[in-house]
Structure 1
Amino acid sequence: MSIRSKKAGMNKAAEKRITLMETLWTEAELASFHTWDRKVQNGFTTIPRTMTYIGKFINKHSPGKPLSDTYLTLWCHVFDESFIEIKNKNEFATESGFSGERAVTTWTGRMRKLEELGFIKSKDGSSGEFSYLIITNPLKVIHEHYQNHPKDALYNSLAARLIDIGGTFV
Structure 2
Amino acid sequence: MATSPQTRKAIADSENALRDTLWTDAADRLWAHKTSGGFVTTPKTMPYVCRILDEMSKDHPLASTYEALWSYTWANNAFLRFNKPDDVTFAAGFSGQRGRRTLLERMRRLQLLGFIETQPNGNETFGFIFLPNPHAVLFRHQAGQGTPLPDPAPKGLSTHILPASWNAFVARALDLGCKDVKLLLNPPPPAPVSAAAPAVPAALTSPKVLRRRPKAAAKA
Query: What is the TM-score normalised by the length of structure 2?
Result: 0.68
1:123 matched to 2:119: yes
1:62 matched to 2:57: yes
1:39-50 paired onto structure 2 within 5 Å: 39-50=34-45
Task: Tell me the equivalent position of 1:156.
Answer: 167
Does the 8 Å contact 1:115/1:121 carry over to 2?
A: yes
Runs of 4+ in 1 over 6 A off after TM superposition: none
Structure 1 residue 25: deviation in Å? Answer: 3.1
Any idea what the Cα deviations from partners look like across 1:79-124, whole Å, max 9, x if unmatched? 3111111112111111111112221111111111101101011111
Amino acid at match of 2:63: S
Structure 1 residue 150: deviation in Å? Answer: 7.5
Structure 1 residue 164: deviation in Å? Answer: 1.3
Q: Structure 1 residues 30 and 91 mapped into 2: Cα distance closer, same or farther (>3 Å)?
A: closer
Structure 1 residue 127: deviation in Å? Answer: 5.7
Equivalents in 2 of 1:151, 1:110: separation in Å?
20
Higher relative contact order (CA 8 A, sep 6+): 2
Count of residue pairs the alignment pairs up: 165
Query: What is the TM-score normalised by the length of structure 1?
Result: 0.86
Amino acid at match of 1:147: A
Amino acid at match of 2:20: E
Equivalents in 2 of 1:42, 1:118: separation in Å?
30
Aligned residues: CA RMSD: 2.2
Task: Tell me the equivalent position of 1:73.
Answer: 68
- Pick the aligned partner of 2:8 from 6, 10, 13: 10
Does the 8 Å contact 1:83/1:132 carry over to 2?
A: yes
Equivalents in 2 of 1:109, 1:133: separation in Å?
15
Task: Tell me the equivalent position of 1:111.
Answer: 107
Amino acid at match of 1:85: R
SS of corresponding position for 1:99? coil
Task: Tell me the equivalent position of 1:82.
Answer: 78
